[in-house]
Structure 1
């Protein structure tokens, strides 16, 4: 695959994630514009995420046999049109509907972009190609909120929301004119793809992804609270460190792509201990501003790497059904975020803010157990000649 197409896929994934996350920073303005409560405006985020979790295992599977370029054009077209409708809608229910509809198409584009990138190079180099597309995910999560907030503050809510459509539209045109035709060379039946769920290693991998992603986002969801209550940082410094965390995610994507290409098993089995070490130090020394600043960067790098590990772990468990596997990856990561945010919230409210880290460590221990369970199972099969 040429660099131009990798770039288009990366920006395409950014445009999808930007639509999902960018609205977070303008929720107060949306609430004011449509005269709804902030919690009601928050449905634009929660309902979008729920739609992604529900459609993750199904929509990529349903579209797996169609020409990939045409499917990408369809998804980007839906996102562009719906974002234009959102920008000009006069009533909140219309905005909500225009947000939820494209969310069901979200897993199709992201999973397909990852599959196309990974399948365009030699098997050993696939993690590097996927890592470049995953940078679009990190950029969407990191840059979407501040960029849309800045544009909205400088202009208006409508212009800010039209930014979503503009990015989608740009990638739509780039896909039409610069992405070659991408027919499916080996079309698999839906039944043969779903059949991978009979493999125990697939379910073990799903559990591992749920737990590993939960170990990251269960703690990250309350990072601002931790920085304020434990470290005692001001709102300005918290914003700066959150940006540092997000930008270091991109570094983590790059490093993970290289390590998963050269020494995947060693990196994956070591990873839980690296992240656990960060949590342990933060538990004991998180009140020190310097330690918090340094470890926020390190943590961000590891969090970016975790996203690549999760995608690699899921797709290598079902290599014959890459689109379906990427859909399972998206569903599992969303499920892990939801579950871990709840569990870590219990630690925070029941024992105190510092004990948030205990929840993250608990998920890491369980993730390591799931990882080793699959690794040892594969070794037994290899020893048996199967």
Structure 2
């Protein structure tokens, strides 16, 4: 039996597992809606931008990448705004409202007829993304108990990574066969199912009664919060520069058919699933070591992918490692943000997804510029490498500041989770 975060009322182990599963199902839906566009990018480009596609498929694919950037920017805007404004709401109630927005926004993405309207729908449907993961992570951490925040965050994120193993490849295949609009209708159904699961399984939890928007926004006054955001926003560009253009890499660089794209997405998803769980475990032991280790693996993976993507085995090994290292960094960065945000826990938990989706927008945009500039479909890999190295540099800086401050205060520098800013 485990207590809720709001009082002594115990929950059975079975109820806790069901609640965590319901929260992870939301992550599955978010992973599906966020990443399915990567595999269907040529389909989106040819249907929504027929004139551009007829003249230049590369230019159309690059412009269709704006749909991914629009979703990412929606996350960036929505995560801190909703988390700060609704920190006092009961957490279950807030999760249900966010799931309604997800469902309606995804339906609109599937039904609207033109590229600008679909672009707007992708932005709106992304607004709840960061707030959902932030609040769900706080709920999961309270259900898991003390000392397991990283694992609680990883369990919620596991829905997103599993989506990349099962949901994204399967929905991509459906979209290739039946049209990309049917893919988004399936995703909307997943969100509707999640609404029912959260309603039935997640226990009521009060919001932070002492929270105010001013207190939550105070997180932005801490330098270490900005550095942690920079680590995610820039460092994660390495993943998304590759992931956004994985379909043309598979077909034009490796020389495989469109039918191979879902299988490559499965491999990326497997890497993400393994990396996420291991990253959550290691983050509970040492945020600093976890971040250094997985940034180093990501650098090696991107360099390797750039040189061997023309070979099937090289492509699969490269994208697996890129997915694994990137996903392992996610719970690490989120735990770091929750530490350095101090009392602003709701916004600290949500800001990670703003940061990662800034990386999504940045990677997709810069990778698209490289392709549109005639540098080829492998150029986003090199763009991603540059962004990853910058993210690693920020990680070195943030922990150097911690170390200097702790020495100044006469505290022995620790390798585990740090709460000083």
Indicate the TM-score class for this superposition, using the shorter chain for normalisation: 0.7 to 0.9
Aligned residue-pair number: 385
Shift of 1:34: 12
The partner residue of 1:9 within 7, 23, 29 is 23
Please say if residues 236 and 388 of structure 2, whose CA atoms lie closer than 8 Å, have aligned partners that are also in contact. Answer: no
Task: Confirm whether residue 278 of structure 1 aligns to residue 301 of structure 2.
Answer: yes
1:363-383 deviation digits (Å, cap 9, x = unpaired): 222212111111111111111
* C-alpha distance in 1 between matches for 2:105 and 2:363: 31
CA distances 1:40-79 after superposition (whole Å, capped 9, x unpaired): 9887655443322222221111111111111112222333
1:57 alignment partner, SS class: helix
What is the CA distance between 1:20 and its match in structure 2?
Answer: 4.1
Please list, as runs of the form range in 1=range in 2, the aligned pairs for 1:322-337 lying within 5 A after superposition.
322-337=345-360
Name structure 1 gaps, 5 residues minimum: none
1:359 maps onto 2:383 in alignment: yes
How far did residue 309 of structure 1 move?
2.8
Question: In structure 2, do the counterparts of structure 1 residues 336 and 103 end up closer, same or farther at CA, with 3 Å as the change threshold?
Answer: closer
Structure 1 equivalent of residue 195 of structure 2: 172
Answer yes or no: is 1:370 the counterpart of 2:366. Answer: no
Compute the displacement of 1:276 (Å).
1.5
2:135 to 112, 127, 133: 112
Going by fraction, where is helix more abundant, 1 or 2? 1
The residue number in structure 2 matching 1:313 is 336
Q: Secondary structure of 2:225's match?
A: helix
* RMSD of Structure 2 on Structure 1 (CA): 3.5
C-alpha deviation, 1:244, in angstroms: 0.9
State the shift of 1:353 in Å.
Answer: 5.0
Alignment of 1:1-386 (within 5 A): 2-22=16-36, 28=43, 46-81=69-104, 83=106, 100-150=123-173, 161-345=184-368, 349=373, 354=378, 356-385=380-409
Report the CA distance shift for 1:104/1:342 in structure 2 as closer, same or farther (over 3 A).
Answer: closer
Change in CA separation of 1:356 and 1:171 when aligned onto 2, cut-off 3 Å: closer
Q: Is the Cα–Cα contact under 8 Å of residues 75 and 102 in structure 1 kept in the other structure?
A: no
Preserved contact between residue 31 and residue 41 of structure 1 (Cα < 8 Å): no
How far apart in 1 are the matches of 2:103 and 2:240?
29
Q: 1:141 to 1:133 in 2, by over 3 A?
A: same
Could you tell me how far 1:253 is from its partner in structure 2? 0.9
Q: Distance in 2 between matches of 1:36 and 1:257?
A: 46
- Provide closer, same or farther for how the CA distance between residues 177 and 275 of structure 1 changes in structure 2, counting only shifts above 3 A: closer
1:213 touches 1:310 (CA, 8 Å); kept in 2?
no
TM-score of the pair, normalised by structure 2: 0.78
Q: Name the SS for the 2:284 alignment partner.
A: helix
SS in structure 2 at match of 1:262? coil
Kept after mapping to 2: 8 A contact 1:217/1:340: yes
